Structure 1
Amino acid sequence: MASHPTTIAAPIDQVPLVVARLHSVYVEGEYMDFLLNDAHQTSGLVLLITNQMAPVLHIFGLDAPTINMPLEDLLNYVNELNAMVSTLHRNWPNYSFGDLSLDHCTTKTLSAILEVSKTCADISSLRGGATGAKVFGNLSERQMAATCKDLNIGEKDRFIDIGCGYGQLMCAVAALTQAELSTGIEYQNHIYNAGVLHLEFFQRLMKFFGKRHGKITIKYGDVTEEDNHSMVTNSTFIFANNIAFRDLNEHLKSIFQKCQESTQIVSTEPFFATRNGKFNTRVNQKDELFKICKIRSEKEKQLEVVDENTDWKTESTKLYLITIERKVGSKEEEPVEEMEIEETTSERNDAVAMDEVPKENKKENKDIGKKSTRIRRRPISIRFKARKVSKTKKIPSQKSSELRKPMCGTLVPCQNECCITEIKFSKKGGRYQFVLHSFIHSNNKFDAFWDCNICGFRCGSFQRNRDHYKELHHGTIRTGYDIPRLLQKFPNFKQQFDACFGDQIEL
């Protein structure tokens, strides 16, 4: 019996994992690891260095990396860049990066972080693939920023995105408003898994950039299931892209009826019947949710819509807002209509009274049939003369003319081309908050202003100056750290301030 030769499979050599650890130029001691064996993470690393660390590359004359670089060359490049970042932290500890030097996210910075996190998580593959499932689309982070501003979303609010996809909107709300909780629910498993990965990269990048954000969570499940209703009813701000799931509108409306007072619900399609662009009250009056909702009329200001606010079509999508207000159905009729009815009735009574003639003044029967010569009485009108007010001569004010400033509550944008920061002018903060922002764009020319005037410690920043006095000079009141002293020490700072806010505020 012939023996058959046996073949032994050769062992498969496992490719060693190559990890590039990139040190943060924004937060000293912070870093982020990228797996270079993963093509998507490699692309995210190159994108981060090329777009966001361009000033450092320019300072040290280092060329930007490319995606096609061999892994060993890219790893050596990151190590060389880390050495330069360490030098930058040591020699220029207060180097300014514009918006990136702030501890909170602007819309511009948020877009940059989301771009890197989506690249690392390979979100583009959700547009199709072997499963055949597709993501319908997202509202843009610029639109969500405008909506949060319109609705005054803050740190005490709780946001939920129904059908959150990979979680772009809940990340945007958490970064821009520092909301107490930003959560989302997604019922497609493969999209949920991509969302978990995207959320992991997003949170690591926020830490890498030194940005604050609220708590973010994502859950896999169906929002119509009773176990998930509390996620919606406990939220104060709800978003539903219900263009993608109109068949769930009735289920969602039954859940919204349990929401707490003043909950704001934003949708891409109206939840109630409309006619000629307006809500049809006669049809909707039987709707239980409609009875407890407040809807903005056409005369009121509607939600702001930015250009190209979605990624599924070029034209902007309109947004609809309803607010839970259970007292809205018990409003009484407007008193204007009642007054008009009373006036009409009184005029009718006056007319009847004028035509009536007392019995003692009736003429004899022989005058019957003759044309009446009685003149109709006219209503008595009384005119009051207004007292003459003696005009007093205006006494010119002895006070010096005040410096030009905007109205309280006005949002003043920074005029710097690379900055989109807007600061609300308040009486309490005055010009000091704008002075501190101007230091960000001054390239450290005036940092010596914050040095300690007692021991000569090089503070270099307003925050470090405060900490220095608190730790070493207990009970000492800082004097002289005001605008007049700043302009006396650095007359050129006025030009720096005018470049940022000169159109609206005079220093």
Structure 2
Amino acid sequence: MSSQSTTIAAPIVPLPLVVARLYSVYVKGEYMDFLLNDDHQKSGLVLLITSQMAPVLHILGLEAPSLNMPSRDLVDSVNDLNTLVSDFHRNAPNYSFGDFSLDYCTTDTLLAILEISKRCADVGSLRGGATGAKVFGNLSVRQIAVTCGELNIGEKDRFIDIGCGYGQLMCTVAALTQAEMSTGIEYQKHIYDAGVLHLQFFKNLMKFFGKRHGNIKIEYGDVTEEKNHSMVTSSTFIFANNIAFRDLNDQLKKIFLNCRNSTQIVNELFKICKVRSVKEKQLEVVKKNTDWKTKSTVLYLITINRKVLEKENEPVEKMEYEEAASGNVQNNTVPMDVVYRGNEKKKDDCGRKSTRIARRPFSVKYKTQKVQKSKRIPPQKPIKLRKPACETMVPCQNECCITKMKFSKKAGRYQFVLHAFIHSENQFDTFWDCNVCGFRCGSFQRCRDHYKNHHRGTLRTGYNISRLLQTFPKYKDHFAACFGDHIEL
């Protein structure tokens, strides 16, 4: 009888944890632990030493560690550095390290801290796919710094970022303004988990460098659910990257209208709150203020103004003035149309007693004039745009192009619009960016392929000619340079 050989899997022996504890040269007694079994934390440790502690290495005469070093050698290098840091604290307690001697963050210091925390939390793995180029994109730290200064966010304010991603914006606000509370809410679980880890490293690094910040927290959930409304309505400053929301804008509008008076909302589509109880204005922007567009994105500030809404809804009342009766008049007043009777007893009275009867008190009513309704303007017929006859061959007027295209009724002007993009030198490529996640497509074909691969079943909307002209008014002149003699856009 033949026996079958059986293979027994060898037990998996976990590797021992290798932890490197780095002591801070900026704050005595402060330290950070890095797990070297994790390549991302190991990379963050090397980045911290080589980029931010380079002056310290130069003063102490040490060589910078490298990422290719074995974990044990890296631990030994960190221990040698810690020994010299301890001596440095003892011998030069008042030494200044430029911006690191301050107890608050400058923009440059904050950039360095965020870069290390993102490296340790492996935020880069969230890029690509349905999440867009960099997790729906982020405003740059310098743009947030300018916006915080323009809005004058202070220590008593409460800030919330709707759709916060891994939390760069709320960390920036907390570091630069020391706001009472900086909150972020994210509904995608894997991005939220990365944000929790990123926030942990960010707080530890702020302590490591001796920087103060306001309270920060990140929440997991859908902001449109009623249980999450309170964190929005209790905030004084709200940020919403609502280009990526689309279908949620109407629900956000209802939530925003329940906010307190003077609440300020920063977003990228001001129409989200274009109602009669708000004021809008465009904020200052810095050059290339996002990491998902080649050009700067426009930010709008909306301020909830509850007094305007109350004044408009106030009912018009009749104003009445009731004159007091003669019986209620004080002794030093004279009733209307009654002559003073003290002259009756005088014999030399040269006057004549009034025979008029005192009138009854009357009331005066003031009624507001009715506002005449504006005459209804009849709808005007749309202007017919100039176009060639069907089956006509239309040549491109660009001097470098010899293309001729047949005008068909089915395709209309759209085929000529797509061709004009070829001669635009990438001026209008952002028009094709994904409306769902903000991914930078750059062309009609890549946009169509992106929807096919990542948003299957989602209808591509918002790519019509009217939106193109609204987004890029100069495109009309560009189109006229290609087909202006034959077609009017």
Check whether TM > 0.5: yes
Distance 2:6 2:102 in 1: 67
* Paired residues, number: 312
1:201 match: 201
2:278 match: 293
Of 287, 296, 317, which aligns to 1:307?
Answer: 287
Q: Give the match's secondary structure for 2:270.
A: coil
Question: 1:243 offset after TM fit, Å?
Answer: 1.1
Question: 1:10 offset after TM fit, Å?
Answer: 2.5
Report whether the alignment pairs 1:319 with 2:304: no
1:205-242 superposed Cα distances (whole Å, 9 cap, x missing partner): 11111111111111111111111111110000000111
CA contact (8 A) 1:294 1:328 kept: no
Report whether the alignment pairs 1:75 with 2:75: yes
Report whether the alignment pairs 1:171 with 2:171: yes
Q: Normalized against structure 2, the TM-score is what?
A: 0.62
Distance 2:82 2:129 in 1: 38
Distance 1:245 1:153 in 2: 25
CA contact (8 A) 1:127 1:135 kept: yes
1:452-479 superposed Cα distances (whole Å, 9 cap, x missing partner): xxxxxxxxxxxxxxxxxxxxxxxxxxxx
**CA distance change for structure 1 residues 117 and 131 in 2, over 3 Å: closer, same or farther?**
same
Report whether the alignment pairs 1:118 with 2:98: no
Letter in 2 for 1:317: T
1:51-83 superposed Cα distances (whole Å, 9 cap, x missing partner): 110111111221211111111111110001111
Q: Give the match's secondary structure for 1:271.
A: helix
Letter in 2 for 1:318: V
1:393 match: none
Distance 1:174 1:134 in 2: 22
1:64 match: 64
1:247 match: 247
Question: 1:313 offset after TM fit, Å?
Answer: 1.2
1:135-156 superposed Cα distances (whole Å, 9 cap, x missing partner): 2100111111111110110110
**CA distance change for structure 1 residues 130 and 157 in 2, over 3 Å: closer, same or farther?**
closer
**CA distance change for structure 1 residues 133 and 108 in 2, over 3 Å: closer, same or farther?**
closer
1:188 match: 188
Q: Give the match's secondary structure for 1:22.
A: strand
Aligned pairs for 1:275-286 within 5 A? none
Structure 2: runs of 5+ lacking an equivalent:
313-489
Question: 1:329 offset after TM fit, Å?
Answer: 4.6
Letter in 1 for 2:205: L
Letter in 1 for 2:175: A
Distance 1:132 1:308 in 2: 17
Structure 1: runs of 5+ lacking an equivalent:
273-286, 297-301, 333-507
Q: Give the match's secondary structure for 1:146.
A: helix
2:264 match: 264
Aligned pairs for 1:11-160 within 5 A? 11-128=11-128, 135-160=135-160
Distance 1:137 1:324 in 2: 27
Question: 1:2 offset after TM fit, Å?
Answer: 3.1
Question: 1:8 offset after TM fit, Å?
Answer: 2.9
What is the aligned-residue RMSD (CA, Å)?
Answer: 1.9
1:133-184 superposed Cα distances (whole Å, 9 cap, x missing partner): 9721001111111111101101100000000000000000111111111001
**CA distance change for structure 1 residues 129 and 20 in 2, over 3 Å: closer, same or farther?**
farther
**Which of 77-86 and 132-141 deviates more?**
132-141
1:320-355 superposed Cα distances (whole Å, 9 cap, x missing partner): 0110111235679xxxxxxxxxxxxxxxxxxxxxxx
Question: 1:15 offset after TM fit, Å?
Answer: 1.0
Distance 1:112 1:67 in 2: 18
Distance 1:4 1:129 in 2: 47
Q: Give the match's secondary structure for 1:229.
A: helix
Q: Give the match's secondary structure for 1:63.
A: coil
Q: Give the match's secondary structure for 2:37.
A: coil
Letter in 1 for 2:289: N
CA contact (8 A) 2:133 2:292 kept: no
Distance 1:294 1:5 in 2: 79
Q: Give the match's secondary structure for 2:16.
A: coil
